[in-house]
Amino acid sequence: MIPMRKLLSNLFILAFALQGALAPATAAEVVEVGRIVCVVGDEAITSHELATRLAVALKQLQKQGTPLPAADVLERQMLERMIIERVQIQAAREAGIRVDDVQLDQTIARIAESNKLNLLQFQSALQKDGVAYATFREEIRNEMLMARLREREVDSRLVISDGEVDNFIANQATNGGGVEYQLAHILLRAPESASPEQLQKLRARGEQALARARAGENFAQLAAAFSDAPDALQGGEIGWRQLDRLPSLYSEAVSHLQPGQFSELLRSSAGFHILKLVDKRGASGPASIQQTHPRHILIRVNEVVSESEARHKLESVRERIVNGIDFAEQARLYSQDGTAAKGGDLGWLSPGDTVPEFERAMDALKPGELSQVVQSPFGMHLIQVQERRERDVSVERQRSVARQALRERKLDDAFQDWLRQLRDRTYVENRIEEK
């Protein structure tokens, strides 16, 4: 349920909170770092790596004031999170997705800046927290790999038709009247080919968690103990959402709840869910939105053209533009999409009209400013913002907001389904479960 444009920033927050993970090691490389507790594909997770992640997670939960789950429960939950991370990182590498050192350094500089620190101060702060800078750096690289993999395999393939937008707008009056709901949840993920016995066992765990929640146990603690969702260690918090920005399963359940109440155990293709309505409030949308009129030059990455080749080519094009060559002329010569004939002109874009990495780079530019080389699921871009404007609430904005709401509604379900399939087709030998 996280808006696409916020995904990567949320991942950085998560990475900062869960820092301390070691880089993957192949089974052959594991020497005097503890026994192997799990094999994921051709990589091993060792007891030392697991203990390191557990120590950081315990520190995080204590900072939040969350009552701690039983040690064996937290160990099982943390190992599953590490498995999910590994299968995504392996899939990203197999797909040829890379994060070079220049992109990584730029990202870490932005993280430091967001904490109002320069790079040296940021490194010092990490050291005081007992976190090696090299370890943090590789953790951020992995987070970027997973974000790019998701954008390529899930986000960029999600299609919202004009018919869906029309139906959404027609039915919007019944979708909560602008009321926002603050939610938390627990997800018990089911394997794609789960047997009836596995589903029954999972259902029993869900009923147990629900009964304990209704008996008054701390929901954040239960989420940390039971949930397979990435936000489990944050108490399963989804945050504030309007009903039209939730999956249909969630919106239908939440609309009948009062603050403090819990849903029944819900079943979806991803597994079993428990929702808690924390609070609700009235909401009114902004009276206007900011639109951007950019142009770009795109070099696609494929089997013939590598990321480094595409980047090098665009850096040469950028240098020519900086030295006075016309942007539109270069776009007509080099851009590899339908805008080339128009000098790369993309027209007026509203929030949510393009993929997150492109939108983040575009939003950071001033009118007339030329970006550095930007990577998205479509390839490498140069972006130049020509102008910006504020638009009043209108049919155009209504459709843009509706399209974004539909994306958010569908996106998490699509991601969870894809993640479950990826997990199921990866070889996993969990030696803790085998005990």
> Which pLDDT tens digit goes with each residue over 266-293?
999 889 999 999 998 875 455 567 889 9
pLDDT of residue 435 exceeding 60, the answer is no
pLDDT of residue 30: 37
What pLDDT, in 10s, does the model give residues 126-140?
888 778 898 899 989
Give the C-alpha separation, 186 to 264, whole Å.
12
Q: What is the mean pLDDT of residues 131-158?
A: 88
Residue 207 lies inside a defined structural domain of this protein: yes
Distance of CA 110 to the CA centre of its chain: 18
Q: Which two tokens stand for residue 5?
A: 């444009």
Residues 267 and 293 occupy one common structural domain: no
CATH number at residue 8: 1.10.4030.10
Residues 239 and 354 occupy one common structural domain: no
Point out the domain boundary residue: 101, 123, 155.
Answer: 155
Residue 143 lies inside a defined structural domain of this protein: yes
Residues 150 and 190 occupy one common structural domain: no
CATH number at residue 224: 3.10.50.40
Residue 259 lies inside a defined structural domain of this protein: yes
| Number of Cβ within a 10 Å radius of residue 287 | 10
Q: What is the mean pLDDT of residues 212-241?
A: 89
Q: Which residue has the higher pLDDT, 304 or 212?
A: 212
Residues 193 and 100 occupy one common structural domain: no
Q: What's at 319, amino acid-wise?
A: E
pLDDT of residue 393: 52
Give the C-alpha separation, 291 to 312, whole Å.
30
Are 156 and 378 in contact by the 8 Å Cβ rule? The answer is yes
- Of the listed ranges 58-67, 211-220, 221-230, the least confidently predicted one is 58-67
Q: Is the pTM of this model over 0.85?
A: no
For 259, the domain range is 179-283
pLDDT of residue 397: 65
Looking at residue 264, what DSSP letter applies?
A: P
3-state secondary structure of 272: strand
pLDDT of residue 29 exceeding 60, the answer is no
| Residue 272, strand partner residues | 188, 267
pLDDT of residue 240 exceeding 50, the answer is yes
Residue 411 lies inside a defined structural domain of this protein: no
Question: Cα dist. 189→54, 249, 327 in Å?
Answer: 21, 15, 49
- Of the listed ranges 22-36, 39-53, 150-164, 318-332, the least confidently predicted one is 22-36
The pLDDT-based confidence of 394 (bands split at 50, 70, 90) is low
The pLDDT-based confidence of 59 (bands split at 50, 70, 90) is confident
Residue 42 lies inside a defined structural domain of this protein: yes
Residues 105 and 212 occupy one common structural domain: no
pLDDT of residue 434: 55
Looking at residue 222, what DSSP letter applies?
A: H
Residues 260 and 310 occupy one common structural domain: no
What's the CA dihedral at 412, 88, 308, 364 to 10 degrees?
30
Q: What's at 284, amino acid-wise?
A: S
Residues 299 and 329 occupy one common structural domain: yes
Rg (CA), the chain: 23
Q: What is the mean pLDDT of residues 225-245?
A: 85
pLDDT of residue 334: 93
Residues 41 and 91 occupy one common structural domain: yes
pLDDT of residue 67 exceeding 80, the answer is no
User: How many Cα neighbours within 13 Å face the side chain of 18?
Assistant: 27
Domain count, the chain: 3
Mean pLDDT of the chain: 83
pLDDT of residue 4 exceeding 50, the answer is no
- Of the listed ranges 144-148, 327-331, 388-392, the least confidently predicted one is 388-392
Residues 112 and 189 occupy one common structural domain: no
Residues 244 and 309 occupy one common structural domain: no
Point out the domain boundary residue: 96, 122, 155.
Answer: 155
Residue 174 lies inside a defined structural domain of this protein: no
